[in-house]
Structures are given as C-alpha cells and as structure tokens.
C-alpha cells in the first residue's frame, strides 16, 4: 500500500487533482463561471459537437425519405438517383424552412423591442446527467454572450445563460428549480416569480407561488416576464396557467404554468445580449 | 532525432485510436438523438469506456484517458467546474492501478469496476442535484431516474470492453 502512495502514477494523480482544484477556484473568481480547462475543452471540441448535433438533426430528417428511396430503388437505378437528389434538396428545404420560421418569429420580437440585441445560437449538446433539461448553445463570449443573458425562442422565454466559454455557453431552462423569473399574469396583473420544483419539472411545468386564495387567475391565463430585477426584459411570454392549487404550507395559492416552449425539442435559440433596463449593460445605465 | 521503435509506434497508434474512440463516445453521449432514452432514462457510456481503457492501458494512461473524457463531458454539462474530469480521472487511474496490482483483467472485474464507478457517479449527481439543494422528491428521483440510468449505463460495458480488447490485441 505504501508503495502505491509513492508511485509516479499517484503523484501525477495528486498533481492533476490540484490543477483541477485551482481551475475550479479560478472559475469561482471569474465572471464567466467557467473553469479554464473546461473553456479550453469547449473551444477544442465545440466544433465537433456542433457538427455532430447538425448530423443528428439531419439524420432524423433524412431517415423517413431514405426508406422511400430504398423501396423505389428496386424499380430502377435512375429513379433511385433522382429520389436521392430530391431527398437532399428536400432536407435542405426543410432545414431552410425551419430557419426561416425561426427568423420570422424573431423579426416580430425585434420590431416590438427595438432595444434588443440578439445572437442566434444552435443547441449543440445536452448533458445526459442534467435532469433539468439544460443545454449547451453554440455561441460564447466572443459573440458577446455573458452570464445571465436571457434565452428566448420567438416571444417565449426559454431560460438563462449560466456559464460562458469563448465559443459556447451553458443554458439553464425554466424547468430548472434554481431559475427564478419575476412575472405577472396579463389580465389580473397579479405578480410574483415563476420557478419550479423537481416534481413539476419532470412533468414539464413551472409554478407561480404566493397568490391570494381568492386569486382571479384562471386556467388559460398568460404569464409574462415583468422585467423587475433587470435580468429578463419585460413582456416575454413564460407560458399559460394550467391550474390553480392551494399551497399546503401556508394560506396562499399557486398557479401551475405550462411553459410556451418545450426546451427538450429546441434546435435553435436566440440569446438577448442587450436590452433596455438590463442590469450592468450600457442600455440599462441610461434608465 | 531518435527514431521510434516498432513497439513504441504501435503503442502511440493504439492510444491515438483509443483517444478517437473516447471522442466519438463523448459526442454520442452528449448529442440528443444518438442514444435512445427509454422512459427518460439516460446512459453515460463514457464511464464504462474509461474503466476499460484504464484496465487495458494501466494506471497512468488510464488517468489521462479519464481526464480527457471528463474534460469533454464538463465542457457540455451543467456540473460544477472540473467535476466529471476529477471523477473519470479517478475511475481511469484506480481501475488501472487495481488491475496492475490485485485484480485480473476480465469481463467480471470490468463489471465490478464499472458498477462501482457508475454507482459513485450517479449517486454523487443525485446528492449534488437533489439532496444538497434540499429539493423534495429526492428518493423518487433516485429510483426513477438515477438508478435506471446506472443500469442503462452498464449495458454499454460489454461493447466497450470487447472493443478496447480487440483494438489492443490488433495493435499490441
């Protein structure tokens, strides 16, 4: 046993453990919330992960058409080649169409909020160990992304950037219990903060706690961001009220909210890098 | 410059092939849609692969393979800084050290080491995510997500073990 602790392998192990600890301490001191060694790994392997994500999307689109092509290939070789060519075009068309739909939605948001500055970001990876549906987006500090930037899809809030590397960033979604968003219901103007619990997160739901027992909010009501706190801009849609329930710990009620977008299905998002009223931004300092 | 001996050349080629295998596995694990998620259960094939690489290449190379695997996982995960790098580096190093000293290199010891490593990783994930944050439903989450994910991960062991063994035998 004593020989094991004196071995070169164990000394290297201790040295690397110390280096990892130093990286963790550095990350805690930096504003980007990312350890140097993690940033370096992200910088090196990010492009590969981005390519892999693109391939996964392409394959899911292609599989349906590939089957048709295989059946028709028995009829004649020429027709098969033609189908393969058309299939490629169709996949390109579908991807372009999806992209166009996405940009149309953001054009609406941009027209309504001229102060917003965006960065379009593909979803490049998902950590299988993260039970709360966080993901990695393919834009980072060199694209102007910072920690706490809001992440949206169309007019819907998706989540918030929690750490930034040079070419990518990690996003926590509304389905993470650590995320809190100040919000209000648009018809009654009752306000609070939207968060979730692990149980609700599993069902893809959030909650707006602290409502009066006599609350006028009804299922189907729309909940939007209030802009209080300066992290999220005002009037981004969070979701619709699914039900009203009484809290078991006090005399208040809470609204169960179904978010407007399913974060598990997203392939692209937009990150708001600057908006009027943002904490710490030039836009916000003029307020 | 000193020329590489034939043996050293084969070792470098073998380790380069293992590094590529590790990279491919990391990409497959972190890309949604490549691995099926039955009932929302997810697999972490990097764990059995790291253990098998440590077993076949011994402690120091196992340590570096584990470190590499963990750094790639960290780059795309929500875990604290260097968390997976430390866990997988430990798994690779200890697997190699145990095979070099007290264990035989076969599928049963691979199973034992993978069970231990995977169980440690999923249980730590659960403790950090649920228990230390004081979230409710921790027990149910452990039974419905973390333990099934641990079992799902074990399914990748035979594939990893024999893939590593075949590559090693070809490039010994």
| Total beta-carbon pairs less than 8 A apart between chain A and chain B | 149
Rounded to a whole number of angstroms, the distance from the CA of B58 to the nearest CA of chain A is 10
Query: ipTM of this predicted complex?
Result: 0.82
pLDDT at B20: 95
- The confidence band for B81, taking pLDDT boundaries of 50, 70 and 90, is confident
Token pair for residue A26?
Answer: 């550095």
Which positions 125-154 of B are in contact with A (Cβ < 8 Å)? 125, 129-130, 133, 135-138, 140-141, 145, 149
- This prediction has a pTM of 0.80
Chain A residues within an 8 Å CB radius of B78: 127, 129-130, 132, 134, 162, 170, 172
Closest CA to B118 of B47, B53, B65: B47
Query: 3-class DSSP state for residue A267?
Result: coil
The residue-averaged pLDDT of B78-99 equals: 91
Is the pLDDT assigned to residue A1 strictly greater than 80? no
Q: Which of A36, A127, A134, A247 to mutate to test the interface with B (most CBs of B within 10 A)?
A: A127
Nearest-angstrom CA–CA distance, B115 and B124? 14
The top-scoring range by mean pLDDT among A7-11, A45-49, B108-112 is B108-112
Kindly provide the b/e burial profile for residues A204-240, where b requires at least 16 CB atoms within 10 angstroms of the residue's own CB. bbbbbbbbeeebebeeebebbbbbeebbbbbebbbbb
Q: How far is CA B140 from the centre of its chain?
A: 26
Is the pLDDT assigned to residue A52 strictly greater than 80? no
Chain A residues within an 8 Å CB radius of B121: 129
Per residue in A124-156, pLDDT tens?
Answer: 998 888 889 999 999 999 999 999 999 999 889
Q: Which of B26, B30, B140 to mutate to test the interface with A (most CBs of A within 10 A)?
A: B30
pLDDT at A287: 32
Closest CA to A265 of B85, B32, B132, B139: B32
Beta carbons within 8 Å of A137's beta carbon, 6+ residues apart: A121, A122, A123, A124, A151, A161, A168, A169, A170, A171, A269, A271
Please compute Rg for chain B using Cα positions: 17
The residue-averaged pLDDT of B83-99 equals: 95
Average confidence score pLDDT of chain A = 84
The residue-averaged pLDDT of B71-90 equals: 88
Per residue in B95-130, pLDDT tens?
Answer: 999 999 899 999 999 999 999 999 999 999 999 999
Give the H or E element holding residue A209. Answer: strand A206-211
pLDDT at A158: 95
Is the pLDDT assigned to residue A280 strictly greater than 90? no
For B63-132, list the strands marked E by DSSP: none
A77-81, A181-185, B73-77: least confident range: A77-81
A50-59, A244-253, B132-141: least confident range: A50-59
Q: Where are the alpha helices (DSSP H) in A73-197?
A: 77-112
- Does B44 sit within 8 Å of A20, measured CB to CB? no
- Does B78 sit within 8 Å of A13, measured CB to CB? no
Is the pLDDT assigned to residue A189 strictly greater than 80? yes
- Does B101 sit within 8 Å of A129, measured CB to CB? no
């Amino acid at each position: 046993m004593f020989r094991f602790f004196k071995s070169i392998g164990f000394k290297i192990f201790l040295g690397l453990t110390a280096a990892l600890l130093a990286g963790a301490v550095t990350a805690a001191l930096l504003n980007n919330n990312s350890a140097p060694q993690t940033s370096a790994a992200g910088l090196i392997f990010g492009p590969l992960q981005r390519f892999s994500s693109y391939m996964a999307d392409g394959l899911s689109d292609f599989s349906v058409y590939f089957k048709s092509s295989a059946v028709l290939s028995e009829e004649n070789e020429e027709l098969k080649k033609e189908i393969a060519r058309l299939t490629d075009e169709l996949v390109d068309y579908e991807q372009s169409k999806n992209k166009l739909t996405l940009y149309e939605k953001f054009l609406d948001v941009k027209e309504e909020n001229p102060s917003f500055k965006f960065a379009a970001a593909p979803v490049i990876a998902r950590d299988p160990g993260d039970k709360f549906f966080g993901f990695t987006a393919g834009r980072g500090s060199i694209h102007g992304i910072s920690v706490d930037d809001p992440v949206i899809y169309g007019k819907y809030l998706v989540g918030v950037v929690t750490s930034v590397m040079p070419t990518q960033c990690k996003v926590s979604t509304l389905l993470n219990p650590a995320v809190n968003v100040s919000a209000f219901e648009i018809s009654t103007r009752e306000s609070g903060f939207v968060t979730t619990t692990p149980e609700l997160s599993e069902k893809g739901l959030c909650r707006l706690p602290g409502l009066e027992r006599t609350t006028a909010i009804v299922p189907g009501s729309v909940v939007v961001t209030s802009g209080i706190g300066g992290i999220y801009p005002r009037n981004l849609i969070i979701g619709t009220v699914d039900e009203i329930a009484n809290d078991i710990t006090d005399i208040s009620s809470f609204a169960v909210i179904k978010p407007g977008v399913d974060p598990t299905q997203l392939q692209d998002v937009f990150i708001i890098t600057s908006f009027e009223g943002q904490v710490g931004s030039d836009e916000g300092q003029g307020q | 410059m000193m020329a590489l001996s034939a043996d050293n050349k084969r070792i470098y080629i073998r380790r380069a092939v293992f590094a590529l295998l590790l990279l491919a596995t990391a990409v497959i694990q972190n890309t949604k849609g490549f691995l099926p998620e039955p009932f929302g259960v997810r697999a972490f094939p990097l764990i059995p692969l790291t253990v098998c690489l440590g077993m076949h290449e011994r402690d120091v190379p196992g340590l570096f393979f584990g470190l590499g695997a963990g750094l790639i996982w960290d780059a795309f995960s929500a875990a604290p800084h260097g968390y997976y790098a430390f866990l997988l580096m430990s798994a690779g190093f200890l697997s190699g050290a145990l095979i070099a000293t007290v264990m035989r290199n076969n599928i049963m010891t691979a199973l034992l080491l993978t069970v231990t490593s995977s169980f440690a990783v999923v249980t730590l994930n659960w403790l950090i995510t649920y228990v230390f944050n004081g979230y409710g439903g921790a027990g149910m989450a452990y039974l419905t997500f973390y333990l099934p994910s641990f079992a799902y991960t074990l399914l990748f062991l035979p594939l990893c073990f024999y893939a590593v063994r075949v590559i090693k035998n070809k490039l010994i």
